[in-house]
Structure 1
Amino acid sequence: MSAQYDQIGVKVADWDVLPVRSEYIEGHTYFKALGSVKGQAVLDLACGDGLYTRQLQARGANRVVGVDISEEMIRVARETEAAQSQGIEYHVSDVADMAPLGVFDCVTAVYLLHYAHSPEHLLRMCRNIHAHLKPGGRFVTYTFNPGFSAKGPNSTRYGITMLDFPESPWEGQAISAELHTKTPFTIHFSHWSQDTYEHALREAGFRDLEWMRPECSAEGLARYGQEFWQDYLDNPHAVALRCER
């Protein structure tokens, strides 16, 4: 995963303005699942160029740490931090092998778990996430939708195309998606079932798992209308998941 995002580089910034990537769908759903972070310590995994990491600090978190496996993504995030300091720390690491960074009220991860290359790798990620949480702390992630259907409405009109997505994907199958940004690029990840995710999280010690389908914000509905979003909401490429330590 590190290599692909090192090559994608600053193209990710174009991804941030796609309709489903904006505050209308993804951001709205993610922050609703997360709840208030005011006065809390937050660890943001798979932080990329820091899109949501900066928003966490702006929402009142008293300590924010971002981690990503890609040196290029962290370089961009650090450049932004240097240009306008928010007091955010950034580190390069595979979450499965991440050194202790402290104990946090919540850990977040937008697009992380589906990059696990095996169930064992996924479990190591989940155990390390659990180890970074205070008792009663929460983990909120946004991950590829295990129930995404090749027969369902296509998400191309929203800026994302699943490439040769099979009708019945199997565990660990390599999946690709093309992002239709100003400079299109393709990402590659693994397909895992809901059972696989839940087994790894529970084995790591998490409880009270709650899956949340994407919702559209009032602003998104006012700008585009319900009809525009309906195909995506019926067959979203990603969903939120919240659980507690």
Structure 2
Amino acid sequence: MAAQYDQIGNKVADWDVLPVRSEYIEGHTFFKALGPIEGWNVLDLACGDGLYTRQFKTRGAARVVGVDISEEMIRGARTHEEAQPLGIDYHVSDVADMPPLGSFDVVTAIYLLHYASSPEHLLRMCRNIHAHVKPGGHFVTYAFNPEFSAKGPNSTRYGITMLEYPEAPREGQAISAVLHTKSPFTIHFSHWSRDTYERVLREAGFRTLTWMRPECSPEGISRFGREFWQDYIDNPHAVALRCER
């Protein structure tokens, strides 16, 4: 995963403004699942160039730490921090091997779990995540939808297209998707079923797991109309998941 994101580099900045990644869908759904964070300590995993990491600070979080496996992504995040200091610490690490960084009210991860290379790697990730969540805290992630349908709508107008997606993907099967930015690029990840995610998260120590399908914000509906978003809402490429410790 580090290699592919090191190569993508600053193309991720364009990814952040795609329709599905905007505040209309992804941001709206993710922050609804997250809830208020004022005064909290937040650990943001797979933070990339810090798009959400910075938002946690501006939404009132007390301490914010960002972690990503890609040195190039962290370089971009630190450049943002130098230009507009918010007091965010950034680290380069594979979440499965991440050193102790403290105890956090909430751990977040936008597009992380589907990069696990095996169930064992996924379990190591989740155990380390759990170790960083204080008792009573939670983990909120936004990840590839394990129930995405090859037969459902898959329109490029939302900014993402699954490539040759199988009707019944195998556990761990390699999946590719094109992001239609100004300079389109392809990402590669693994398919894991909902059962696998839930089994591993529970084995790691999380108790209550709540899935949340994407919703469109009132602003998104006002700007584009409800019909524009319907195909995506019916067959989203990603979903939110909140896990209580």
TM-score band, normalised by the shorter chain? over 0.9
2:221 alignment counterpart: 221
Alignment of 1:78-117 (within 5 A): 78-117=78-117
The CA deviation at 1:155 is 3.3
What secondary structure does 2:6 align onto? helix
Query: Partners of 1:13 and 1:214 in 2: how far apart?
Result: 22
Task: Tell me how far 1:157 sits from its aligned partner.
Answer: 1.5
Write the distance in 2 (CA, Å) between the matches of 1:143 and 1:20. 13
For 1:154, the aligned partner's letter is: N
Paired position in structure 2 for 1:239: 239
Deviations 1:107-148 (A, max 9, x none): 000000000000000000000000001101010000000000
Tell me the equivalent position of 1:70: 70
Matches within 5 A, 1:39-78: 39-78=39-78
5 Å matches for 1:74-223?
74-223=74-223
Once the 2 structures are TM-superposed, how far is the Cα of residue 208 of structure 1 from its aligned partner? 0.8
Q: Is the 8 A contact 1:155 1:237 kept in 2?
A: no
The structural deviation recorded for 1:84 is 0.6
Unmatched segments (≥5 aa) in structure 2 = none
> Unpaired runs of 5+ in structure 1?
none
Runs of 4+ in structure 1 off by over 6 angstroms are none
| Structure 2 counterpart of 1:35 | 35
Q: CA RMSD, aligned part only?
A: 0.4
- Name the amino acid aligned to 1:107: V
CA-to-aligned-CA distance 1:8-58 (integer Å, 9 cap, x gap): 000000000000100000000000000011000000000000000000000
Contact 1:155 1:236 in 2 (8 A): no
SS in 2 for 1:207: coil
Instruction: Tell me, yes or no, if the aligned pair for 1:127 and 1:204 is still in contact at 8 Å.
Output: yes
Give the 3-state SS of the residue equivalent to 2:52 in structure 1. helix
Amino acid at match of 2:45: L
Aligned length: 245
